[in-house]
Amino acid sequence: MRLILASTSPRRKELLAFLRVPFEVAEPTFVERIRQDLVPGEQAGLFAEEKARSCAGRFPDDLILASDTLIAVDRTILGKPADVAEAESMLRRLRGREHLIYTAVALRREVDHVEDVAVETVRVWMRTFNEGDLQDYLRTGEGMGKAGAYAIQGAGAHLIERIEGDYTAAVGLPLRLVAELLRKRGLVVPIDVDRLYRTKPYLNWERFARS
């Protein structure tokens, strides 16, 4: 049984590699459409499920891992910005405020007809960054394709005051949760996950470690 990561995200591929479980990558065909009638955790879970299902038919005997990340503020779900103007609007809305990141993980194996879905939540406090900081960040283009229009693992870290929760979930793949789900399905995760969380080897992880 192979592990298939249903994602085109480079950061999820990088994070999953830390678990040292062999995996292959497949592109999900699911098209995301946010439904504001769902609470954020449910929406993220639904997206992760649909991504996994979109690949499961191609790999019925293998274990499909999918993930999705959404941001919520004022009970409104923020996904990926469609353009720079929307990215600017999102960042203005988040500036100086607290918001929540919801990252869902889905594991599916078609022949078993069993799917595991779990959601990790991270609390984030944004700095009251000035107009120059905002425009400088928008010019990097880094926030395009990212929920909430910023990347905590990149230059977007400068916009953030602090976080509460699993940093890897904020990036897009909660490694402790993923390791638990993989082991539940019988896969060997050969690393010490606690040690991984102590050493914090990913970009900006140490910066947001709890004091």
The pTM assigned to this predicted structure is 0.95
For the domain that residue 73 is a member of, what is the CATH number? Answer: 3.90.950.10
Amino acid of residue 196: L
- Supply the Cα-derived Rg of the chain in whole angstroms: 17
- State the DSSP code for 208: G
Between 34 and 92, the higher pLDDT residue:
92
CA distances to 29, 38, 95, 127, 134 from 160, rounded to whole Å, are 32, 27, 9, 5, 12
Q: What is the tally of structural domains in the chain? A: 1
Report the sign of the C-alpha dihedral through residues 27, 87, 95, 100, in that order. Answer: negative
CA distance 103 to 120: 5
User: Which range marks the domain in which residue 87 is found?
Assistant: 3-208
Report the share of the chain in percent with pLDDT over 90. Answer: 92
For residue 21, pLDDT over 70 is answered with yes
Residue 81: CA count within 13 A, CB half-sphere: 21
pLDDT of residue 49: 97
DSSP assignment of 155-204, as one string?
GGGGGEEEEES-HHHHHT--HHHHHHHHHHTT----S-HHHHHHH--STT
Top-confidence residue, 75 or 167:
167
Q: Give the confidence band of 35 by pLDDT, cuts at 50, 70, 90.
A: confident
pLDDT of 36 > 90? The answer is no
- The confidence band for 31, taking pLDDT boundaries of 50, 70 and 90, is confident
Strand pairing class (76-78; 63-73): antiparallel
Residues classed as catalytic: 68
> Tell me, what's the pLDDT at 211?
35
Q: pLDDT tens, 171-210? A: 999 999 999 999 999 999 999 999 999 999 999 999 998 6
How many separate helices (H) and strands (E) can be counted in the chain? Answer: 7, 7
